[in-house]
Every structure is written in structure tokens, then in C-alpha cells.
Amino acid sequence: MIYTDSIQVSATGFGHTLDITKDVIKAVENSTITDGLATIFCPGSTGTITTIEYEPGVIKDLKKVLEKIAPSNKDYEHNQRWSDGNGFSHVRAALMKPSLSVPIVEGRLTLGTWQQIVFIDFDNKERQRNLIVQIIGD
């Protein structure tokens, strides 16, 4: 069986991190699938789906590390072509990837105790996002 749902989020960009775990759990419950796989996908090239301990310190730490890896104040070829100033957001999203898959066992996501599913918006402006959750299983 395949079940598809979506999660609507409003994000402010620049690393705005949103805990979407409860939304994904709700989609799993609505699917009635007890054993399978949930894939959460961000259409677009400036956002990511990942897991992290959703607490302010680690969120700040991740932002600092990403600023060192793909600085927001550097010149990117993308910016020269499109003049939108968000080259850094494309690089960060490419490094972190647009999707995440989590096994479902006995109707529950197999997340660790301190592990939450998050969407991170790397763009340089506010955006509405439509994240896709697709659940496959029995």
C-alpha cells in the first residue's frame, strides 16, 4: 500500500528550523500502515529534511557549522547568473539533501529518544513550503 500526504509550513529562511515530527507521526497514523517506510521530501532546491535533537543549542551549532562550510556572504556563480543572492542556500541544501526515510515498525516511526525530524529552510527570504510525506508498506 502507498499513502501520500503533505505538510504545509511557513519558514523565514536563513536556517529556520522547524520540528515536523508530530506532522509525520500524524501522516503515519492516517496511513494505517503498520510496517514500512516513511519518506519525507522537500520539493525545491533550498531546503532540507533531516534528523537532529531539536534543542536551541544544537540548532545554533548546526547554523554556525554551515556558515563556515557555505558562507552566506560569499560570491557564488548562482548569484551572478540569477542575481537572487541565495547561492549559499542551494549549496547548503545540496549538502544536506532534500529527503529522509524512516522505517515504520508496528505503526510507529523508529526514531531515537532525542531524534526529531526537522525541515530547515536555507533560502534568503520567507517562503511557504509544501513537504511531501509518502508512506509505503503493509
Structural domain boundaries enclosing 83:
2-137
Phi, psi of 49, deg, nearest 5: -120, 130
Chain segment 79-129, per-residue pLDDT in tens:
889 899 999 999 999 999 999 999 999 999 999 999 999 999 999 999 999
Kindly state the cell numbers that stand for 88: 549559499
Amino acid in position 138: D
As a whole number of angstroms, the distance between CA 67 and CA 49 comes to 18
As a whole number of angstroms, the distance between CA 36 and CA 105 comes to 7
Chain segment 43-66, per-residue pLDDT in tens:
999 999 999 999 999 999 999 999
What's the domain count of the chain?
A: 1
Q: Return the CATH number at 101.
A: 2.60.120.460
Confidence at residue 79, expressed as pLDDT on a 0 to 100 scale: 86
